[in-house]
Structure formats: structure tokens, C-alpha cells
Chains A and B, each alone.
Chain A
Amino acid sequence: MKYTIPKEELVHPGHLACQGCGGALAMRIMLKTLGKNTILTFPACCWSVIDGPFPYSAVKVPLFHTAFETAAVVASGIKAALNRVGDPKTNSVAWAGDGGTFDIGIQALSGSAERNDDMFYFVYDNEAYMNTGIQRSSATPKGAWTTTTPVNHPKATPKKDILAIMAAHKIPYIATASIAYPEDFTRKLEKAKEIKGFKFFHIFAPCPPGWRANPKDTITLAKLAVETKLFPLLEIEDGEKYTINLPKKDKGKPIEDYLKLQGRFKHLKENDIKEMQTFIDKKYNRLKILEEISQ
């Protein structure tokens, strides 16, 4: 068999993620590349459940379960302790959901980023509070159904622009990554390993039950998110230098292709879809300009 990403598995099967979970695959790819010399910190999120009940664990590295709002600051503390015992090499990794990042964890995240602590922060973004039953977060896209934004009043505001917030911290490395493009993801991880300071990864992670999607479509959806320019794969260095990796062509696929595979968008009317397309095009054009002026 041909292996295009590291072969060694650092996640055990038998974990508790749903069938076709994007967040589970994201962890599998991330740990393969960062390797055994890693300490994880999880706030409350699906991954605190996926890891399994005491005394079992699904990951082959040390793991610290912490309070919902504290992922970044706990990982900062672990890094400080590692430095204190003379081990500057071990990776300290915060791994949080979108709720734990865009909402409740944002002040701890901002603190660690502003101090430029030498650590990784990953948000696996499934666009809602999935673990507690699909409540909207500030990462939920405008128009989406969740249990707290029912179809008669779907989410009214756009998804928070977390990349702009992180870029404003002028941290050395920000990347978006997708489970549909594991080679791109591992390349970025390898690059980030060589960078001292705060590294932020935004991972697009489809959630079949939360998105009312078929588990078989998890990779298709992640791929379409990139191909429609909804979730471009990019890197931002020092908060200023933008590089768009994918999609290669500026003319993306229509957003309908992505929406129609998900029950959470089933109620959208033609006009809503048009509005969404305009939003995506505008945002992508802005990114292109940022890329152009930063080269």
C-alpha cells in the first residue's frame, strides 16, 4: 500500500467518535505528524468523550482534560513546566472545538497568542456545540439550522472571522487545514514544528449528525468546502504574509454543491443561497488582495 502521510498510528481504534467524524480523522492526521513527543490539552468538547472513559484512552500520548475556557492557558502552563524541567523539545498542544475557541476560550487563547508562547493551538471546527447537542456557536455559518437556531429563525449573523482575530495578534504562524487534504495538513505541521512561538491551526471538520449529513460524505464535504472557496487552505506568517494554497483556480464550484448534501441548510431559499455565494466571493477576493499586497 502507498503511504502519503506518516504510517505510524497514535490514535487507537475503539474511540467513541460517531461514524464518519471529521474531528476524529483530524486528530489522527495531526498526531501522526507531530509524533509521540507531544502533550495534549483538551477542554470540554467532543474529543473529551471520543478519548474514552477512565481508565482508557484513545491517544498514545499524555493528555490533560481541562475546563472549557482554559485550553490555551493550560497548554501554556505545560510548556512553561517543560521548559523548567529542561525539556524545550516536547510539543505542548491545545486541541479544542469551535465553541471552546471562537466563544468561551477566546480570552485564554488571546493571552497565550499575545505572549507568543511556544505551543500549538488547534481548533477542529464542526461549526456548533456538537457534544452537548448541536447548539449554535459563533462559528456556525449564517443561515444554518442548529437546535438553538431552528429553521423559522436560523442563525442570523455570519461566522466569526477567527483568522482575522488571530492575524491581529501577529503570531508567527497561522494555517487552515482540511481532513480532505492530509498531505497539505502534514506539510503545514512539519513547517510549524520548526517555528518557535504560537502556532494556530484552523481545521475544517465535518460532523455528520450535527450537519444532518451522511457519514459517507465527510471527505466529500471537506473537499467541497475548499473547492467552493468557502474554506480556502492558506497560511498567514507573522500576521501579515498571506499565501493561498488551495483552491488553485479562483473560479470555485457553486456553493449549492456543498449545501445540498446537508440537512442543516435544507430550508434555504434561492435568495439565501445567492447571498451566501456573494459573501463567499467577497471574502475570497479580500483574501486575494491580502495575498497580493503581502508578497
Chain B
Amino acid sequence: MKKDGDKIIFENAADLPDMAKSMGTTRFNKTGTWRNERPIVDTDKCTGCGICWKYCPDMSILEDENGKAAIDYEFCKGCAICVEVCPVKAISMVEEEK
């Protein structure tokens, strides 16, 4: 079995696994490219309450070294749920650059 980063490459039947689940994960699929707008966290305002983390459907809220929210831009799809649920309005959306 060949791999190119997180991608799995099949060249012939002998490369097929017995168990698909033992192979790769959807981390190969960089959904950050889906975004039209990107969320930006104002870390001065963020209280580290974890509410945005709790509601993100894409596991794209991480924790920075100060316990504040940090966005995983590799996977964040830009749904803006985090902006809506933040009780102190610490997250805002800006247009994505090309």
C-alpha cells in the first residue's frame, strides 16, 4: 500500500486491504478549502468558555496555549456557528482571500 501524505494510493488489486477501517481517515480531505468566509477569534475578548468548541460540527475549534479558542483553518468549513453561539462576540467572519 502506497501513501502520499494522508492519501492512500491503490495501483492494483493486491493493494486492496482486508479491512477498510484499518486504512485512512477523512483527515486527507482538507475541508478548509470550502470556506467563503473565515472566522477570526479576538483572543482579548475570548474567555475560554468552550461554547464554540462544543457546537462546532467539524472539530475545528482548538485550544491555544492560553486556553483561548483557536480555529483549525485546515478543516474549518466557515459555517459561522461559532460566531452565533459565542456569548461575548469574540468571533467574527471576514471574507476569505483567494
Which residues of chain A in 1-47 are interfacial with respect to chain B, using CB atoms and an 8 Å cutoff?
Answer: 1-5, 9, 11-17, 19-22, 24-25, 28
Smallest Cβ-Cβ distance to B30: which chain A residue? A14
Stretch at the interface among A74-82, A156-164, A211-219: A211-219
Write the A56-96 contact mask toward B (1 if CB under 8 angstroms, else 0): 11101011000000000000000000000000000000000
Query: Is B75 within 8 A of A1, CB to CB?
Result: no
Query: Is B27 within 8 A of A216, CB to CB?
Result: no
Query: Given A5, A20, A54, which contacts B54 in the complex, CB threshold below 8 Å?
Result: A5
The CB with the most chain A CB atoms within 10 A, among B28, B55, B69, B83, is that of B55
Smallest Cβ-Cβ distance to B24: which chain A residue? A56
Query: Given A4, A12, A25, A60, which contacts B57 in the complex, CB threshold below 8 Å?
Result: A25
Given contacts A55-B17, A216-B83, contact A25 B25 (CB under 8 A): no
Query: Is A219 within 8 A of B55, CB to CB?
Result: yes
Query: Is B25 within 8 A of A14, CB to CB?
Result: yes
Query: Is B49 within 8 A of A58, CB to CB?
Result: no
Count of chain A residues with a beta carbon within 8 Å of a chain B beta carbon: 40
Total of A-B residue pairs, C-beta within 8 Å:
115
Smallest Cβ-Cβ distance to B74: which chain A residue? A13
Cα distance A2–B23 in the bound complex, in angstroms: 33
Query: Is B8 within 8 A of A13, CB to CB?
Result: no
Chain B residues with CB under 8 Å of A16's CB are: 26, 29
Let me know if A239 is at the binding interface, CB within 8 A.
no
Cα distance A281–B84 in the bound complex, in angstroms: 29
Let me know if A220 is at the binding interface, CB within 8 A.
yes
Let me know if B80 is at the binding interface, CB within 8 A.
yes
Query: Given B31, B54, B68, which contacts A13 in the complex, CB threshold below 8 Å?
Result: B31
Chain B residues with CB under 8 Å of A197's CB are: none
Let me know if B38 is at the binding interface, CB within 8 A.
no
Which residues of chain B in 39-98 are interfacial with respect to chain A, using CB atoms and an 8 Å cutoff?
Answer: 48-50, 53-60, 63, 67-69, 72, 74-75, 77-81, 83-85
Cα distance A121–B75 in the bound complex, in angstroms: 29
Query: Is A55 within 8 A of B81, CB to CB?
Result: no
Chain A residues with CB under 8 Å of B81's CB are: 20, 215-216, 218-219
Let me know if A52 is at the binding interface, CB within 8 A.
yes
The CB with the most chain B CB atoms within 10 A, among A20, A54, A214, is that of A20
Query: Given A3, A15, A179, which contacts B58 in the complex, CB threshold below 8 Å?
Result: A15
Chain B residues with CB under 8 Å of A56's CB are: 8, 23-26, 28-29
Cα distance A17–B79 in the bound complex, in angstroms: 11
Smallest Cβ-Cβ distance to A218: which chain B residue? B81
Smallest Cβ-Cβ distance to B77: which chain A residue? A19
Let me know if A182 is at the binding interface, CB within 8 A.
yes
Smallest Cβ-Cβ distance to B60: which chain A residue? A13
Query: Is A216 within 8 A of B26, CB to CB?
Result: no
Query: Is B29 within 8 A of A54, CB to CB?
Result: no
Query: Given A14, A57, A220, which contacts B84 in the complex, CB threshold below 8 Å?
Result: A220
Chain A residues with CB under 8 Å of B31's CB are: 13-15
Chain B residues with CB under 8 Å of A17's CB are: 57-58
- Minimum C-beta distance from B58 to chain A (A): 5
Query: Is B26 within 8 A of A52, CB to CB?
Result: yes
Chain A residues with CB under 8 Å of B21's CB are: 57, 62-63
Query: Is B60 within 8 A of A4, CB to CB?
Result: no
Chain B residues with CB under 8 Å of A9's CB are: 59
B residues sitting closer than 8 Å to A (CB atoms) are 8, 17, 20-21, 23-31, 34, 48-50, 53-60, 63, 67-69, 72, 74-75, 77-81, 83-85
